[in-house]
Structure 1
């Protein structure tokens, strides 16, 4: 069982480490990537983004606590096969997220931002999902919640998945204003999450 905690730790470092590296690389180019809850946006968008920022930071803390403090006795799903599957799903989420960031290059942002110029990416992983970074987050969180299923972890996972979906809906109202018909055409041929879903 100790090996599951080490695997969880490695996936956690991979996921958040890649996020921070991408943020630092773009910052060196003068690009501010974390736009959640910042800027001139509709009040609803600001509320969703602020809640999402709070939830994701809290989730990172919950995940660390789940690894360091919460042991098997507190898990709701303690079966070894479920926990191993959770690590696998979490690792898949990290891979999807890293791939999405790589394809976005300098256009990657967290949050709606009308003040910075970005390019509509439709190649690579963006051919099968309009939101692979969010899909990666969802898989990472769900997998981690299966592997380390304490009650708080499960509650925050559900909260984050709902907030990511609300953020996607906000971005879907914003992107046609920036990219016009190109985004509308892209939306017609590429699924919101994955292939047909």
Structure 2
């Protein structure tokens, strides 16, 4: 049946970071052994957990749909649309939101404490993945890397690059960063 390879590719594009899963599992085990709550209002913590899980589901689903035409583990092209136009790693951001949401929903400080450890381990993996993408798509990835932040989109102007400062000193005009929203004057 021809639909099976498409489903295999689609399912392979939902990476479940072992680091987040291990952090959540360790947090649950430690919370059971030595309960440690956040100390914040339980209803507020749970509401934030639900919001974080909802955001996670939305981000991961959107990223999954945007990447449906390629295999993320071995891409034949860069995915730069949908959430990938805002973040180079939206799925990792989504899974971090899920990790945060589970910790908040359970009011589990151990799971929350494991999040930065998991994030640091994932960051090292992201750096390796970016090296591979830079080697596979040197021009395209270089342009993409300059215009799209690694994790969290920012609508604040980025600091000017050295090349922009040189153009300014030479009398040229450096335009706004390519990711900055353009303001309408009319």
What is the CA–CA distance in structure 2 between the aligned matches of 1:140 and 1:31, rounded to whole Å? 18
1:1-197 aligned at under 5 Å gives the runs: 26-27=7-8, 53=18, 55-59=19-23, 61=25, 65=28, 74-79=36-41, 80-109=43-72, 113=73, 116-196=74-154
**1:59 positional shift:** 3.9
- How many angstroms apart in 2 are the aligned matches of 1:193 and 1:30? 22
Q: 1:182 to 1:117 in 2, by over 3 A?
A: same
Report the 3-state secondary structure (helix = DSSP H, G, I; strand = E; otherwise coil) of the residue aligned with 1:193: coil
Q: Is contact 2:47-2:105 (8 Å) kept? A: yes
- Given that 2:10 and 2:68 are in contact with CA atoms closer than 8 Å, whether structure 1 keeps it comes out as no
Please state which structure has a larger fraction of its residues in helix: 1
Q: Which structure is larger by alpha-carbon Rg, 1 or 2? A: 2
| Post-superposition offset of 1:100 | 0.5
| 1:33–1:190 distance in 2 versus 1, CA, 3 Å | closer
TM-score, length-scaled by structure 1:
0.61
Contact 1:26 1:33 survives alignment (8 Å): no
Q: Counterpart of 1:76 in 2: which secondary structure? A: coil
The verdict on how the C-alpha distance between 1:77 and 1:99 changes in structure 2, with shifts beyond 3 A counting, is farther
Relative to 1, partners in 2 of residues 1:91 and 1:140: Cα closer, same or farther, differing over 3 Å? same
Question: Hey, what's the Cα distance between the residues in 2 that align with 1:59 and 1:106?
Answer: 31
Q: How many residues align?
A: 147
Task: Give unpaired runs (5+ residues) of structure 1.
Answer: 1-23, 37-51
How far did 1:62 drift?
A: 5.3
CA contact under 8 A between 2:20 and 2:95: conserved in structure 1?
no
Q: CA RMSD in A?
A: 3.2
Cα deviation code 1:56-105 (max 9, x no counterpart)? 34245458x58xx96xx753245111220121012101210111011111
Deviation at 1:149, TM superposition (A): 2.9
